[in-house]
Chain A
Amino acid sequence: MLYIPGNNPAMLQQGSVYGADGVLLDLEDAVALNQKDAARILVSHMLQYVSYEGCEVTVRVNHIDTPFGEEDLKQIVPLQPDAIRLPKVETIDEISRIIQLVEDIENAHELPHDKMKIHVMIETALGVQNVYDIANYSSRIDAISIGGQDLAADMQLVKTNDGIGIDYARKQIVMAAKACKIDVFDTVYVDVENEEGLREEAEYIKKLGFTGKAIINPRQIEIVNEVFTPTEKEIRKAAKIVKAFERNKKEGIGVFAVDGKMVDAPVVQRALRVLEMADIDVADI
């Protein structure tokens, strides 16, 4: 998911051409305090003009308790991007208040409550402690993400490249997302020049269970896509397992072997996930 500063026309109009799965039009940290109005108006116009075909479009609004958050929601919610991203959510009371405001705006515009999804960012120690309750609060929340920079600041960490300080938070947030069966996105990797560092971090967070990773520069897209896209070998193996599962199911066999290794329901589930990640329909294999 590629972050695009909300007050940058050149990047906003080109956002979908770089090959990211999603674009995140940012009204929050990427916009100077005295340009919040300009960014909000620009993003509103761009959403109505630019086709972000093939990309999920998310708008990150400002926190509801800032002077900008409510106005952001009033302008963006009626345009119904695929999702809005809420920064620095810490408590159930807060998410409840924001979703109520979103739905009041939707009611005023006679819009449904089930089209635009809500992404929640966890960026403080308190948010990490409450993450499951927050993620589980509403069926509209279909993804959570960790904001590493703000979390590190909130935890008063000395910044390191190995991410040790936020490791517990990453795992806690992944576990909450998995318990709620929603997507979970990792924080940005700010050292744009360090491609190897980005690859290592992407490989690590994939192993933790993250669905994807936020990026801040188009040159990071290829690396993250490479890490998260199953290899040909993984796809062939997954297809073989699913085919064998279908064959054995007809004969009433639940546990069987493929290439000498035991296959049961969880293995089939993982194989199906690999095919899903590769955009392969089970019916086509």
Chain B
Amino acid sequence: MELKIKAQAGSFESSDVLIMVEPQPTGVGRKIELESIVMQQFGDDLLNQIHRDLDALGIDDIRVIINDKGALPPTISARLETALKRSAGLQAGTLT
């Protein structure tokens, strides 16, 4: 998946997460900024999940800004996938 533009998905609602992604030049690596209302309890799990999802999609150079309001793992994966697809211009079946 080739990221092209800055994009975001999700919201600040309870149990949701707002994820913003920005493509980075090759070799820069992953810059992940995380804020969460459950940082102490689940911060590491959340970061690991983001890395796993990016690994699965083969994305190495990216900036990800995450503002978590207590989202469950499927919500985090879904919002990240949506943001990435929007960044790559792959959001078939939607209006922008």
Contact = CB atoms under 8 A, between A and B. Distances in A.
B93 A45 contact: no
Interface in A28-49: 33-38, 40-42, 44-46, 48-49
Nearest to A11: B15
Contact of B82 (A41, A67, A71): A41
B78 A44 contact: yes
Contacts of A69: 93
B72 A9 contact: yes
Given A9-B15, A9-B71, A10-B13, A45 B94 contact: no
Contacts of B82: 37-38, 41-42
B75 A42 contact: yes
Contacts of B92: 37, 71
Interface in B1-48: 9-10, 13-16
Nearest to B81: A41
Contact of B93 (A48, A50, A70): A70
Interface string A57-99: 0000000000111111000000000000000000000000000
A130 interface: no
Nearest to A70: B93
Contacts of A36: 93-95
Contact of A67 (B14, B73, B74, B94): B94
Interface in B65-82: 71-75, 77-79, 81-82
Contacts of A10: 13-16
B95 A38 contact: no
A41 B78 contact: yes
B78 A45 contact: yes
B75 A72 contact: no
A72 B92 CA distance: 10
A30 to B, nearest CB: 14
A13 interface: yes
A40 B91 CA distance: 10
Given A13-B72, A46-B74, A49-B73, A67 B93 contact: yes
Interface residues of A, number: 25
B16 A37 contact: no
A45 B74 CA distance: 5
Contacts of B96: 34
B41 to A, nearest CB: 17
B55 to A, nearest CB: 17
Interface string A201-240: 0000000000000000000000000000000000000000
Given A9-B15, A9-B16, A10-B16, A40 B93 contact: yes
A67 to B, nearest CB: 6
Contacts of B73: 49
Nearest to A35: B94
A68 B92 CA distance: 8
Given A37-B93, A49-B73, A69-B93, 8 more contacts: A36-B95, A38-B9, A38-B10, A38-B94, A40-B93, A41-B81, A42-B82, A46-B78
20 contacts: A10-B13, A10-B14, A13-B15, A13-B74, A13-B75, A34-B96, A35-B94, A36-B93, A36-B95, A37-B86, A37-B91, A37-B92, A38-B9, A38-B10, A38-B79, A41-B78, A42-B75, A42-B78, A42-B82, A45-B74
